[in-house]
Amino acid sequence: MGAPSEKPLLSENEKNDTWKGSENEKDAYTTLNLGVWSVLLPNEIVSGNIVSSTKQKWNAIFLAYPVVQGFFRQVYDLNPHLVLLFVALKLWGEMESVVSLYVSSRLLRIIEVGMTEGRPDASALLQALVAHLICVTLNATARWGRAYVSPILENSVSMHFDDYLLRAKLRLDMPTAADSNNRSQASAYYAWNSFEGLCDAFMRLFGLISQLIYISQQRNAGFLFTLIALVRPVMTLVSEKTLWLKPHVAYSDNKSYLRLQSLESMGQSRFRGDIIASGIVGWITEEYHRARDALGSVGCQNSWALYAIESSPLNQVLGEWAGALPTMYWALNALLAPARFSMTSIAILQQYSSSLNYSLQTLFWDFSRVGKCFTDIKILFEAGSIKNQIVDGDLPYPRPDAEFEVSRGMDIELRQVSHRISSNVTFAYPGEKSKEAALKEISLRIPAGSLVVIVGANGSGKSTIIKLLNRMYDVSDDGGQVLIDGIPIQQYRMADLRQAQATLTQEHKLFPLTLAENIGLGYPEKVRDVEMVMQAARDGGAVELLDKLKDGAETMLEPITTAFGYQLDDEKHKTLKGVLTKLEKKTEVSGGEKQRLVASRTFMRFQTKKIKLLCVDEPSSALDPRGEFELFERLRETGEGKTMIFVTHRFGHLTKYADIILCMKEGKVVESGTHKDLMARDGEYASLYNVQAQAFTESEVIV
């Protein structure tokens, strides 16, 4: 593995393209090779000495202090009495060592005096033994109390921050969620681990200070002995190498490592069917071994673990020497002044030394976690402060003063910005690697109440128009405007706008909930209304599926697995393994059944009576021809009071009813009009239509 090496991260052209800082900032970082990882570190960290590095480390902790303070306040507010009890038990756990040192040293001295005088003090010895028993009883009770209280408090903290993180994730819009810079790694585990870690560290510090005060007051120990015992932890804390508190970026461009990870991911259950059907198990195994051999001995551990590896053992050797200083102190003193030391005194000093060494070692370990705890808490709260890229408007929809006939649906227009030089609506997905925009110079008008069919080949931009109308994405300031009822779409409140829309696409997913909830969530306020849910299921064609399942509408398609077996033998525990298999069994539905369930959710949404725009985007790819026809007919029949947009590359069911057909190609609207008009032009639409119609109109040749 070797010491970290340096290499340039980007070529000069790439650096100039991606870096927006000043010329002085362009070279403000260094890239270290750590195993398979490349780690970017600010130069002041890489080049800094021990003093500056330590200063930066503790400055980072102090800067994070306000966030940590707020974190502890939140945890305390969850259950003040439980938190105080937890802290008190932790505090007693750290006081155990001081109490134990006092009790045990007193017992040793009483025994020494008795042995020296030949007449032990039975009363004092009995009192010391009773004190010792009381001490160990209290210690055992406190350990039981910590073990009992800790899971209760941990559950409370984890549930609180699980809720916080869920809300933080759900509030993100599409472009923000897709932005890799916003992919927070925060977890509720961070919350409890950080809370307990910081409590341990500061309680350990309190316990150590108590030990130091007690030991420094003892006749045979004193201040010098206590000071010597501090040398090792101070050296360790100052020389510690860690990435936890350092701003850095880590990534891997090791092809063998990336290949290994890709092949390993193919073991997931979602690939099982394709792997078995294709018979590629042997190939995957062979390629995995080839990638592993190519990787060789290059380290794959976490970048912070690799960074902490020292290039020489010198620091560890010095640390061990420093740890031996207390032993050397009492040994040298016993040699120089034997009259002052008895075997009991030496035993007591050895006990002090061992206790201090243990406390200092654990304190070092706990404080090495402090930086990570502070960083984790900061990451935790940053997850809730990510700003969405799509800004909400403040205009209600429908507008109370609307000039448009909102009872007939939404009036939609895509056009250029009048006060800017712009070629209509142009849009590219943020972060997209393609050089081509998804939409190019689109200008169109869809009157309220129209039935519009958008056709075209895959990738022609049909679905992108739907996403703009849903405000999943926004066009840029110079990319044109999307108008709803004559007002820029950005001015409306998104919640109001989306309540007036229903979308049905092939991208819709089934939730890990019951089938009834999957349908009912089209109208969340009525999700438990069985009659409305079943009506929506009938409209969407999902009733047959509900009827054939054992649990009907209450069936869970993907239940959360909480059952697990441990050390089950295939022969001895067949019955138990059978129970486990039943508990883990999942219900699977076909692609067509999934689309019927999603369609039912849309029909449930219609029951809100608020829908002004229906967008249907290729929802029937897995349906048989009859099912597709029936679905389109039911959707079309709901058209009163709605603008309806159907996106499809199939012809036949809808085009003859369309008020407007938009034919798209390579992100542009190349033709628009009715079916009759477009067929008469004999252009792109007619060509696409004839390709599909030919399969049904050509007579079969009989040989």
Mean pLDDT of 657-681: 91
pLDDT tens per residue, range 586-609: 677 888 888 899 999 999 999 999
pLDDT at 183 (0 to 100) = 63
CA-to-CA distance for 352 and 45, rounded, in angstroms? 38
Hey, what are 448's tokens?
């309220």
Higher pLDDT, 264 or 311: 264
> What letter represents residue 18's amino acid?
T
- 654-669 burial by CB neighbour count: b if 16+ within 10 A, else e? bbeebebbbbbbebbb
Dump pLDDT digits (tens) for 140-151.
898 899 999 999
Residue 13: the pLDDT is 41
Evaluate if residue 701 carries a pLDDT over 60: no
Confidence of residue 244 (pLDDT cuts 50, 70, 90): low
Cα-only R_g, the chain: 36
Contacts of 602 (CB under 8 A, 6+ apart): 502, 503, 504, 522, 540, 614, 635
Which residue has tokens 């932890």?
233
Q: What pLDDT is stored for residue 453 in this prediction? A: 92
Q: Is the pLDDT assigned to residue 473 strictly greater than 50? A: yes
Q: How is residue 545 written in tokens?
A: 């599926």
| DSSP label at residue 652 | S
Sorting pLDDT into bands at 50, 70 and 90, what band is 237?
A: low
pLDDT at 186: 80
Count other C-beta atoms under 10 Å from residue 192's C-beta: 20
CA dist 571 to 377, 567, 574, 578, 580, Å?
A: 48, 12, 6, 12, 15
Residue 627's CB is within 10 A of a number of other CB atoms, namely 16
Taking the C-alpha atoms of residue 390 and residue 172, their distance in angstroms, rounded to an integer, is 9
pLDDT number for residue 614? 93
Structure-token match 């439980």, residue found = 82
471: left (phi over 0), alpha (psi -120 to 50) or beta: left
pLDDT band at residue 27 using 50, 70 and 90 as cut-offs: low
Residue 40 has pLDDT above 90, yes or no: no
Q: What is the pLDDT of residues 671-689, one digit of tens each?
A: 999 999 999 999 999 988 8
3-state secondary structure of 672: strand
Would you state the pLDDT for residue 83? 94
Domain 408-500+615-627+641-698 grouped into CATH 3.40.50.300: yes
Q: Which two tokens stand for residue 408?
A: 């007939």
> 250 vs 246, which has greater pLDDT?
250
Using the Cα atoms of residue 111, residue 117, residue 121 and residue 124 in order, give the sign of their dihedral.
negative
**Where exactly does CATH 1.20.1560.10 map onto the chain?**
51-174+183-254+298-382
What CA–CA distance (Å, rounded) separates 623 from 5? Answer: 57
CA–CA distance from 576 to each of 201, 560, 561, 562, 569 (Å)? Answer: 44, 20, 16, 15, 9
The answer to whether the CB of 390 falls within 8 A of the CB of 471 is yes
The Cα–Cα gap between 198 and 86 comes to 13
Residue 651's pLDDT band (boundaries 50, 70, 90)?
confident
Q: Is the pLDDT of residue 354 over 80?
A: no
CA distance 64 to 377: 9
Confidence bin at 407 (pLDDT 50/70/90): low
User: What was the pLDDT predicted at 7?
Assistant: 41
pLDDT at 583 over 80: no
Q: What pLDDT, on a 0 to 100 scale, did the predictor assign at position 403?
A: 57
Please tell me which residue, 236 or 685, carries the higher pLDDT value. Answer: 685
Over the stretch 83-119, which tens digit does the pLDDT of each residue have?
A: 999 999 988 888 877 777 777 777 777 776 776 767 7
Q: Give yes or no for residue 71 having a pLDDT over 80.
A: yes
**Mean pLDDT of all residues in the chain?**
80
Asked whether residue 700 carries a pLDDT value surpassing 50, the answer given is no
* Whole-number Cα distances in Å, 455 to 385, 602, 618, 677, 679: 41, 22, 10, 15, 14
Task: Kindly tell me if the per-residue pLDDT of 422 is higher than 50.
Answer: no
pLDDT-derived band of residue 25, with 50, 70 and 90 as boundaries? very low
pLDDT value of residue 2? 41
Residues 437 and 422: their CA atoms lie apart, in Å, by: 15
> What average pLDDT score do residues 176-196 get?
81
Task: Say which residue, 664 or 619, is predicted with more confidence.
Answer: 664
Please tell me the least confidently modeled range out of 264-273, 306-315, 682-691. Answer: 306-315
606 contacts 638 by C-beta, under 8 angstroms: yes
pLDDT category of residue 33 using cuts at 50, 70 and 90: confident
The CATH number of domain 51-174+183-254+298-382, selected from 3.30.750.24, 1.10.1200.10, 1.10.357.10, 1.20.1560.10 = 1.20.1560.10
Report the pLDDT averaged over residues 259-279. Answer: 85
**Domain ranges in the chain with CATH number 3.40.50.300:** 408-500+615-627+641-698
- Give dist(CA 478, CA 422) in Å, integer: 6
Mean pLDDT score, 73-89: 94
Contact 667, 436 (CB under 8 A): yes
pLDDT in tens, 614-627: 998 887 766 777 77
Select the highest-mean-pLDDT range: 167-171, 275-279, 325-329, 503-507.
Answer: 167-171
Do β-strands 439-442 and 425-427 pair in parallel, antiparallel, or remain unpaired? antiparallel
* Mean pLDDT of all residues in 163-171: 90
Rounded Cα gap, residues 413 and 448, in angstroms = 10
- pLDDT tops 60 at residue 5: no
Does the structure show a pLDDT above 90 at 303?
A: no
For residue 289, give the nearest of 256, 244, 322 by alpha carbon: 256
